[in-house]
Amino acid sequence: MVPEPAVPPTPPVPLAALLAREDLALRQIAGPAGPGVVLHGAHTSEMADPYPYLLGGELLLTAGVHIPDAAGRAGPGPAGHLEAYVSRIVAAGGAALGFGLAPVHDAVPAALVAACEAHGLPLLEVPPRTTFSAVARAVWQLLERARTAELRRVTEAQQSLATAASRPDPVPSVLRQLARRVAGRAVLYGPEGAELAGEGAASAADAPLAELARLLLTRASATAGDTAPDGTHLAAYALGAGSGFVLGVAAPRRDPGDHTIASVAAVLLSLLTGEHQSGPGAARSSALVRLLLGAPPAEVAPLLGGGRWLVVHARPDTRALAPLAASALGAALGSPLVDLGHDVVRVLVPAGRAPRPQPGWTLGVSAETAPADWPAADAQAARALARARATRTALVRHAAGPGLLGLLPEEEARAHARAVLAPVEASPAGAALLETLRTWLSLHGSWDRTAVALSVHRNTVRQRIARCAALLGSDLDDPDVRMELWFCLGRR
């Protein structure tokens, strides 16, 4: 799998943005101009040879202390010093040269202007009232502003890609969003190098992009890059070790954050393609189709790899539910069978993988059950989660086991339970009343904990319990009554 992308590097800033600062009053007097001239930083030096101190991309600021007066005149001799000086700046990758007027020189030496023009190095005249520290601070302010904008762009792109991955057509949606974010084309290639899906306008770069994708399949590396004959930037990302899928990206320009954005898309596509191509994924798809066509759960359960099962209900403690968080929870519990609902995540787990508490989650776990009893286990897990939330416990398991109840014939027990609870069940809000009564009894009559478990106000709990008592004609403070009702609720 493609490793988690790092924070994108700080983008450079155009030299034109610095020249546009009216408070600095800088003036370009030699060298190329335009959007292609960019700065990565600023550095001040009076060394005659600044080469060892430059990293590349800097605006070098100097007052010309190392330049003798005679060097400023045209002709042979001392002027050769400025020719060598400029050539060394260019060799070190310097982006531009800023020359400060006063106190050493009243004007920029003509030989320096000629040398910068000859070597294609932008030369700026810094007026006496503008300090080098002000120029450097302006450069760093522009860089910080560009970095913040790029981070915002990358963050928005990551969010949009995650949203696209949760749509009904996740692969085309992710490709479409990626193509939009890089203003180019995004293509998914299969194991043989054939295009499986693509988004964005086709161009002359399609053929070299496909070739780069095929080349990546023969390498051990996870990424590859190239430039098409028309200047389009190409990049390819292997989707998982040995999967044979490759993401190809073609864009007219390459911004610093584009690699990070494409890497996030590659991770999402790795999950999506890996899920559908794996043996377990195919088995789960087969089980789903059979269920939709009417097969009973017991028939499709062997395809899912388990005999007896647990149902887990989970809610995050602080954050909102998200598809990737739900998938991560399923992976932690050892099962890919995850259902992300409105306010709860449900996971179907083979009984041999006993769930453990998970940081940041509250869990309710059912008793072990056969596939035919999955609906009952789902209700058990829901009640266990409600109890866990009410008691602020990380994980609560359904208390299984018949105990004394096993001494009674099942049909007689169910008939008695239905008869006792009939007045409540027949009322207009019977389902809500019975669930409130069950939760209230399980929490030993605690109004506050029942309110938390059911996400209602404590006064609502009091009103519902009072209504149950009136319908049943019973004193719910009586332990014998509570015991019988608990028995009935477990048998209805």
pLDDT tens for 244-299 read 788 999 999 888 888 888 888 888 888 777 644 445 566 666 777 777 777 777 77
> Is the pLDDT reported for residue 306 higher than 70?
no
> Is the pLDDT reported for residue 78 higher than 60?
no
* Four-CA torsion 70, 71, 75, 77, nearest 10 degrees: 90
User: What is the distance in angstroms between the CA of the first residue and the CA of the last residue of the chain?
Assistant: 50
Quick: pLDDT tens for 33-58.
888 899 999 999 999 999 999 999 99
Compare 166 and 313 and report the one with higher pLDDT. 313
- What pLDDT, on the 0 to 100 scale, is given for residue 1? 35
User: What is the DSSP code (8-state) at residue 12?
Assistant: P
Dist CA 378 CA 312 (whole Å): 8
User: What is the DSSP code (8-state) at residue 245?
Assistant: -
pTM: 0.49
> Is the pLDDT reported for residue 390 higher than 60?
yes
**CATH number of this structure's domain 308-400, picked from the four choices 3.30.110, 3.30.70, 1.10.3470, 1.10.3210:** 3.30.70
Strands 58-62 and 41-44: parallel
Whole-number average pLDDT of the chain: 84
**Chain-centroid distance, C-alpha 273:** 18
Residues of the chain with CATH 3.40.1390.20: 25-129
Strands 38-39 and 27-30: unpaired
Give the chain's length.
492
The mean pLDDT value for 95-107 works out to 93
Q: Rounded to 5, what percent of the chain is helix, strand, coil?
A: 50, 15, 35
- What pLDDT, on the 0 to 100 scale, is given for residue 25? 96
Q: State the CATH architecture for 405-489.
A: Orthogonal Bundle (1.10)
**Cis? peptide before 50, omega within 30° of 0:** no
> Is the pLDDT reported for residue 31 higher than 90?
yes
**Chain-centroid distance, C-alpha 372:** 37
- What pLDDT, on the 0 to 100 scale, is given for residue 2? 36
Q: Which of 260, 236, 274, 277 is nearest to 161 (CA)?
A: 260
Strands 123-126 and 27-30: antiparallel
CA distances from 204 to 210, 213, 228, 262, 335 (A): 11, 15, 8, 21, 44
Quick: pLDDT tens for 114-141.
999 999 999 999 999 999 999 999 999 9
Give the sheet arrangement for strand 223-227, strand by strand: 195-199, 185-189, 246-251, 233-238, 223-227
* Residue listed under structure tokens 């018949």: 402
* Residue listed under structure tokens 């810094």: 126
Percent of all residues in the chain with a pLDDT value above 90, rounded to a whole number: 34
Sign of the CA dihedral with 143 first, then 148, 153, and 154 last:
positive
> Is the pLDDT reported for residue 376 higher than 60?
yes
Out of 22-36, 49-63, 73-87, 445-459, least confident range: 73-87
Q: For 63, phi and psi rounded to 5 degrees?
A: -100, 5
> Is the pLDDT reported for residue 21 higher than 50?
yes
> Is the pLDDT reported for residue 150 higher than 50?
yes
- Sequence-distant (≥ 6) Cβ neighbours of residue 215 within 8 angstroms: 224, 236
Sign of the CA dihedral with 451 first, then 453, 454, and 456 last:
positive
The mean pLDDT value for 427-454 works out to 89
- What pLDDT, on the 0 to 100 scale, is given for residue 242? 61
* Four-CA torsion 381, 382, 386, 392, nearest 10 degrees: 40
- What pLDDT, on the 0 to 100 scale, is given for residue 75? 43
Dist CA 341 CA 394 (whole Å): 20
Question: pLDDT band at residue 239, thresholds of 50, 70 and 90?
Answer: confident
The mean pLDDT value for 454-475 works out to 91
Q: According to CATH, what is the number of the domain 158-277? A: 3.30.450.30
Residues of the chain with CATH 1.10.10.2840: 405-489
Write down the CATH superfamily of domain 25-129.
HprK N-terminal domain-like (3.40.1390.20)
Residues of the chain with CATH 3.30.450.30: 158-277
